[in-house]
Amino acid sequence: MTDIFLDIHFSIPPDEYIREVLPGVISDLGFDGFVEDERGVHGYIKKELWMETMETAIREMTDQLHLPQIDIIGITEIQNQNWNQEWEKSIQPITISERIIVTPSWHPLEDPSKIILTIDPKMTFGTGYHETTRLVIRLMEEYIAANDFVLDVGTGTGILAITSIKLGAAKAIGVDIDEWSFDNGNENTKRNNVDAKVSIRIGSLESVPETAFDIVLANIVRNTILELLDSMVLKLRAGGKILLSGLLAKDREPIETALHKRGLRTLTSIQENEWIAIAAQK
């Protein structure tokens, strides 16, 4: 084995969502870390693990998520570094709303008048830096009620499940197919002292036999929402609400049409830049 790594420089449009999603998509190929720059994202992988066929595999993965073309614009040999430390330098506290702040554990905050969410991302989507995360949390502030039973589909860092408890929900289940999300989500529930009320599970919705949820959350890409919509609606109790994000403004009509076909009515939709979030009721 060698300590020589390759710096694979991916050219990515200046879109925060895509730059957050890419590391999660390709991390299982053996990448040890990622660092963003103005042209895209650097991925670091041991030299002996990199194969030319991986470029094709990455294109196939990103095509499945309907992401724009991601090109490799440089491959450089470098010595091993502390990739997580480099990533952490770019994560700072961020204000989500008037009363919610997200911060990593290496920037501790104390403010009794605020809800402080301590989230260490470790390259898993859901840091609060993307519009979609902020939008769905703002909807949660409006629609989460005391003692709600919440399902968070594609939980990522666990940020939404954790937030639901901080907003008064009695119990939350977060589910994700990404093993990084499973480990990271459990770490974050403990950091926020909600691990007794949040269950993070690995796998598809089949790993959640529970039903009659008051709230179902999904901050994931449009196509995945449409694929899972029938299953998510079945998880809702009558009168329950579904809060969806990860959507562009152009997705509003097809998503609302899909909701209405399944007997849900739109309650509201909100927008930040080109991104939207939708709340609907069964």
Ranges of beta strands (E only) in the chain are: 4-11, 31-37, 40-46, 71-79, 94-95, 100-103, 115-118, 149-153, 171-176, 198-202, 213-219, 236-248, 265-272, 275-281
Per-domain boundaries in the chain: 4-88, 94-281
Where is average pLDDT lowest: 113-127, 149-163, 178-192, 199-213? 113-127
- What pLDDT band is residue 137 in, cutting at 50, 70 and 90? very high
Angle at 248 between CA 218 and CA 171, to 5 degrees: 15
**What is the average pLDDT across 21-27?**
74
The tokens for 23 are: 């590391």
- Domain 94-281 homologous superfamily, CATH: Vaccinia Virus protein VP39 (3.40.50.150)
Task: Give the pLDDT confidence score for residue 1 in this predicted structure.
Answer: 46
- What pLDDT band is residue 129 in, cutting at 50, 70 and 90? low
Task: Show the DSSP H helices in 71-205 as ranges.
Answer: 83-88, 131-143, 159-166, 179-191
Residue at token pair 């991390």: 27
Instruction: State pLDDT tens for residues 243-267.
Output: 999 898 999 999 999 999 999 999 9
Where is average pLDDT lowest: 56-60, 161-165, 232-236, 261-265? 56-60
Residues whose CB is less than 8 angstroms from the CB of residue 264 and which lie 6 or more positions away in sequence, other chains included: 233, 242, 280, 281, 282
Between 4 and 22, name the one with better pLDDT: 4
Query: pTM higher than 0.85, yes or no?
Result: no
Could you tell me which CATH class the domain 4-88 is placed in? alpha beta
Task: Give the pLDDT confidence score for residue 124 in this predicted structure.
Answer: 46
Decide if 172 contacts 165 (C-beta within 8 A): yes
What does pLDDT average to over the chain? 87
